[in-house]
């Protein structure tokens, strides 16, 4: 940006310039008093220059608190869906943004516009022009200089204004910014780099005046040594889950979706800001919640100070201090950083593996080939239904647009299935790449969406997005012994591998399929397993808690089957799908038997919502289960914080 042009603007002429810009766009300026400062359309209030910061970050202009994702309508010939991503009537010029918030914008540009780009953000972002006005004084909880995101804006702006006594030094950040200058050319005087030295002096003086200065050079070290420190208990006890902190955060991006119905035949899916500080954020069906009060409060702090930076290379905290300002029970990220320092110095824990691990997943840019954008499902029709067990059904479907089947690449591990008007759930793909004109899923009736799906009939319509996630690495399994371990419905994700293995049995050595459940009736693929047992190098074994006379089974856990497997453990891969607790037990036994942790593959399907690493619900440490997983090897699983 340093090669861009520099200008000066008389402070007296600012209002004229804003007025001029307001003719083509809507100019938003800071209005209000004290701590109540809002970006308000020009003319709807008295513009103020006497403010520390905006009450709410500029985030809400580009990522709205509530946004429609798509609409759907039942018609005679089917269901019509429409992606809803373009909404603003007029371009916006946002004047008076502080460095912490332009940093937040820069991070959001990175977060929303890469990997699976977010269609709503992508369409809205160019409509907004950001004009930074650099701060000359700090608020009580400002700590951007300690984090390194301020005090003057360095990224995320189109124009940056630095106030001097009688003029602004105006720096151009982007072509969009230059275009604004050109629109009001007569007011701006081009200048040279000599003023940059004055700006630098001013910056140093402002930095010097900051009441809060922290040395954060040891922060990540401290965090590794204080993951279980006592002070977290106090923080957790204090948090009432009001979610104020995440609502005012410039870098919080999590959302949840809800269905807004007009009637039975028409509705919209909308997304709202959601908060990791609410209890329901990671709550699964049947009260299971991988995060307790302590890990909830701790997660926000680790995400802001570490996980975001680990993954995206951007600071996750912009140092604006709003979360501390707003907390009704005085939870302060500043005090917590100090508490970490203190505990790490006085009473350090052995560094937590999941905080020091080098394991990082490669972030890939991916785009889905669906018709109406990332969040909009394509319509499919149910073509067949099979009752697997009293609680489990297999459902067959075809896209209404047969072309979509051609796009199907067997790369992912799961689809997002929509029951229109009810909601969306992730479902594993139980069949291999042979699914060229039909998709098949198995599901258990456990929640409100599956409740409806369970009662659906042939010819009913559903929506599909996907496939998402990383699948099992099929090719690297060739030439090895394979052990498939799945309990109950959890056998479904493993079938994505079992199917191609059956078609190419000569590529593999011994194959073991270990089915387990409480009772035989609860197992899926009962008939298939009998068929598989007839394939030459296949062995099918069963373990049930209750005895059965239907198949030859042992009474007990799946672990009990392992010691008797006649197999060369050094050339064996185990594929497990079960609850994290069960995985740990099985993997522990397998390690004892001589398997390497890299050769244990697990699938962690925890709380996936959007499927694209955007909504934040399945984030564990710096990883998104939906994008980086759900398939991991056991070594990688152990490198995750124990919060899934």
Partner 1 sequence: MNDISDAEFIMVIGSNTTEQHPLASTRIFEALEKGAELYVVDPRKIRLTDFAHAHAPIEPGTNLPMINAMIHVIIKEGLVDEEFIKNRTENYEEMKKSVEDCTPEWAESISRVKADMIRQFARKYATTDKAMILFTMGVTQQTTGVKSIRALANLAMITGHVGRPSTGINPLRGQNNVQGAGDMGALPDFLPGYQRPEWPETKERFNKVWGDFSCLRGRNIIEMFDLMEEGKMKVAYIVGENPVLSDPDQIHTLKCLEKLPFLVVQDIFLTETAKFADVVLPAGSFLEREGTYTNTDRRVQMIHKVIEPLGDAKPDWEIMTEIMKRIGMDVDYQSPSDIMDEINEATEIYGGISHDRIQEVGIQWPCPDKEHPGTPILHVDEFKRGKGLFTVNDFEFIGDQRSEEYPFLVTTGRVTHQYHTGTMTRKVWTLALEYPEGFVEIHTKDAEELGVKNHQPIRITSARGSIVAPAMVTNRINEKTLFVPFHFAESPANRLTGRNLDPIINIPALKVSAVRIEVE
Residues lying near partner 1 in the complex (CB under 8 A): 234, 237-238, 240-242, 256, 258, 272, 274, 278-280, 286-287, 328-330
Report in angstroms how near the CB of residue 79 gets to partner 1 at its nearest. Answer: 23
Measured from the CB atom, is 66 or 88 closer to partner 1? 66
Q: Which stretches of 168-260 are DSSP H helices?
A: 175-183, 194-208, 219-225, 231-238, 244-247
Measured from the CB atom, is 34 or 536 closer to partner 1? 34
Report in angstroms how near the CB of residue 235 gets to partner 1 at its nearest. Answer: 11
Whole-number Cα distances in Å, 322 to 100, 247, 562: 10, 10, 54
Report in angstroms how near the CB of residue 290 gets to partner 1 at its nearest. Answer: 16
Report in angstroms how near the CB of residue 278 gets to partner 1 at its nearest. Answer: 6
Measured from the CB atom, is 268 or 480 closer to partner 1? 268
Report in angstroms how near the CB of residue 238 gets to partner 1 at its nearest. Answer: 7
The rounded distance, in Å, linking the Cα atoms of 569 and 642 is 27
Report in angstroms how near the CB of residue 256 gets to partner 1 at its nearest. Answer: 7
Paired residues of 92 in beta bridges: 26, 128
- Report the SS3 class of residue 23: coil
**Neighbour tally for 35: CB within 10 Å:** 14
The rounded distance, in Å, linking the Cα atoms of 357 and 360 is 8
User: Of all helices (H) and strands (E), which one includes residue 263?
Assistant: strand 255-263
Measured from the CB atom, is 193 or 287 closer to partner 1? 287
Measured from the CB atom, is 222 or 274 closer to partner 1? 274
**Neighbour tally for 484: CB within 10 Å:** 24
DSSP letter (8 states) at residue 630: B
Cα four-point dihedral sign 189, 192, 196, 197:
negative
- CA 4 to chain centroid, in Å, comes to 35
Report in angstroms how near the CB of residue 36 gets to partner 1 at its nearest. Answer: 11
In terms of Cα–Cα distance, which of 206, 232, 192, 214 is closest to 152?
Answer: 206
User: Could you tell me the two tokens for 202?
Assistant: 């001013």
DSSP letter (8 states) at residue 303: I
Measured from the CB atom, is 61 or 326 closer to partner 1? 326
Report in angstroms how near the CB of residue 643 gets to partner 1 at its nearest. Answer: 19
Report in angstroms how near the CB of residue 330 gets to partner 1 at its nearest. Answer: 5
The rounded distance, in Å, linking the Cα atoms of 526 and 540 is 11
User: Could you tell me the two tokens for 83?
Assistant: 């992606």
Report in angstroms how near the CB of residue 267 gets to partner 1 at its nearest. Answer: 14
Report in angstroms how near the CB of residue 153 gets to partner 1 at its nearest. Answer: 32
Report in angstroms how near the CB of residue 584 gets to partner 1 at its nearest. Answer: 22
Whole-number Cα distances in Å, 80 to 260, 364, 417, 449: 16, 32, 16, 20
In the chain the first and final C-alpha atoms are separated, in Å, by: 42
Measured from the CB atom, is 5 or 35 closer to partner 1? 35
The rounded distance, in Å, linking the Cα atoms of 57 and 63 is 11
Helix axes 175-183, 14-21, angle to 10 degrees: 110
Cβ-based burial of 272 (10 A; exposed 0-12, middle 13-18, buried ≥19): middle
User: Of all helices (H) and strands (E), which one includes residue 53?
Assistant: none
Measured from the CB atom, is 256 or 370 closer to partner 1? 256
Report in angstroms how near the CB of residue 40 gets to partner 1 at its nearest. Answer: 14
Report in angstroms how near the CB of residue 280 gets to partner 1 at its nearest. Answer: 4
**Neighbour tally for 561: CB within 10 Å:** 22
Measured from the CB atom, is 235 or 605 closer to partner 1? 235
Measured from the CB atom, is 286 or 358 closer to partner 1? 286
Contact 428, 355 (CB under 8 A): no
189-191 and 167-172 as β-strands: parallel, antiparallel, unpaired?
unpaired
346: CB partners within 8 A, 6+ apart: none
The rounded distance, in Å, linking the Cα atoms of 517 and 532 is 18
The rounded distance, in Å, linking the Cα atoms of 375 and 466 is 10
The rounded distance, in Å, linking the Cα atoms of 181 and 163 is 17
Measured from the CB atom, is 67 or 158 closer to partner 1? 67
Contact 507, 478 (CB under 8 A): yes
Contact 346, 231 (CB under 8 A): no
> Cis peptide before 268, with omega less than 30 degrees from 0?
no
Measured from the CB atom, is 205 or 258 closer to partner 1? 258
The rounded distance, in Å, linking the Cα atoms of 487 and 227 is 33
User: Could you tell me the two tokens for 217?
Assistant: 């050079």
DSSP letter (8 states) at residue 376: P
In terms of Cα–Cα distance, which of 106, 99, 97, 104 is closest to 38?
Answer: 97
Measured from the CB atom, is 274 or 442 closer to partner 1? 274
Measured from the CB atom, is 329 or 555 closer to partner 1? 329
Report in angstroms how near the CB of residue 484 gets to partner 1 at its nearest. Answer: 32
User: Could you tell me the two tokens for 557?
Assistant: 């856990």
**Neighbour tally for 228: CB within 10 Å:** 12
Measured from the CB atom, is 328 or 473 closer to partner 1? 328
Report in angstroms how near the CB of residue 275 gets to partner 1 at its nearest. Answer: 8
Measured from the CB atom, is 259 or 560 closer to partner 1? 259
């Amino acid at each position: 940006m340093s090669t861009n042009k520099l200008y000066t603007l008389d402070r007296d002429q600012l209002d004229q310039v804003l007025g001029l810009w307001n003719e083509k766009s809507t100019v938003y300026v800071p209005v209000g008093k004290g701590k109540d400062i809002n970006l308000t359309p020009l003319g709807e209030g008295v513009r103020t220059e006497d403010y520390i910061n905006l009450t709410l970050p500029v985030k809400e202009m580009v990522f709205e608190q509530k946004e429609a994702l798509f609409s759907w309508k039942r018609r005679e010939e089917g269901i019509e869906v429409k992606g809803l991503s373009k909404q603003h009537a007029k371009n916006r010029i946002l004047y008076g943004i502080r460095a912490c918030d332009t940093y937040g914008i820069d991070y959001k540009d990175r977060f929303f516009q890469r990997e699976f780009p977010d269609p709503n953000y992508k369409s809205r972002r160019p409509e907004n022009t950001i004009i930074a006005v650099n701060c000359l004084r700090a608020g009580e909880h400002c700590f951007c200089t300690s984090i390194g995101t301020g005090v003057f804006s360095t990224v995320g702006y189109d124009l940056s204004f630095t106030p001097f006594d009688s003029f602004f030094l105006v720096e151009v950040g982007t072509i969009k910014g230059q275009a604004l200058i050109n629109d009001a050319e007569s007011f701006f005087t081009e200048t040279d780099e000599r003023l940059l030295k004055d700006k630098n002096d001013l910056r140093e003086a402002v930095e010097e005046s900051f009441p809060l200065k922290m040395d954060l050079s040891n922060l990540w070290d401290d965090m590794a040594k204080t993951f279980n420190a006592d002070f977290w208990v106090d923080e957790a006890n204090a948090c009432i889950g009001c979610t104020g902190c995440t609502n005012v955060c410039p870098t919080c991006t999590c959302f949840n979706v809800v269905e807004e119905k007009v009637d039975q035949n028409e509705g919209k899916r909308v997304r709202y800001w959601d908060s990791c500080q609410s209890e329901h954020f990671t709550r699964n069906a049947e009260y299971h919640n991988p995060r307790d009060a302590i890990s909830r409060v701790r997660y926000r702090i680790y995400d802001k100070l570490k996980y975001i930076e680990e993954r995206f290379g951007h600071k996750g905290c912009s140092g604006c201090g709003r979360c501390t300002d707003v907390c009704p029970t005085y939870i302060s990220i500043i005090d917590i950083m100090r508490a970490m320092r203190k505990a790490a110095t006085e009473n350090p824990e052995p560094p937590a593996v999941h905080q020091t691990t080098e394991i990082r997943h490669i972030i890939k840019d991916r785009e889905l080939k669906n018709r109406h954008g990332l969040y909009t499902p394509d319509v499919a029709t149910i073509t067949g239904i099979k009752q697997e067990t009293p609680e489990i059904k297999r459902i067959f479907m075809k896209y209404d647009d047969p072309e979509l089947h051609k796009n199907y690449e067997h790369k992912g591990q799961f689809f997002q299935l929509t029951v229109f008007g009810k909601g969306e759930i992730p479902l594993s793909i139980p069949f291999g790449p042979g699914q060229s004109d039909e998709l098949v899923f198995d599901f258990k009736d456990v929640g409100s969406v599956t409740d409806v799906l369970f009662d659906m009939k042939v010819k009913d319509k559903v929506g599909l997005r996907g496939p998402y996630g990383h699948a099992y690495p099929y090719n690297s399994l060739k030439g090895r012994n394979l052990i498939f371990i799945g309990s109950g419905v959890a056998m479904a994700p493993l079938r994505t591998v079992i199917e191609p293995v059956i078609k190419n049995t000569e590529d593999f050595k011994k194959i073991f399929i270990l089915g387990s459940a409480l009772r035989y009736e609860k197992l899926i693929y009962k008939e298939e397993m009998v068929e598989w047992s007839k394939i030459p190098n296949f062995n099918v074994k069963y373990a049930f808690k209750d005895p059965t006379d239907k198949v030859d089974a042992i009474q007990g856990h799946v672990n009990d089957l392992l010691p008797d497997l006649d197999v060369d453990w050094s050339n064996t891969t185990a594929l497990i799908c079960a609850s994290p607790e069960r995985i740990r037990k099985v993997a522990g036994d397998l390690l004892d038997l001589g398997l390497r942790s890299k050769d244990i593959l697990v699938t962690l399907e925890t709380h996936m919502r959007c499927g694209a690493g955007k909504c934040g619900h399945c984030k564990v440490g710096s990883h998104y289960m939906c994008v980086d997983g759900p398939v991991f090897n056991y070594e990688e699983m152990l490198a995750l914080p124990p919060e899934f």
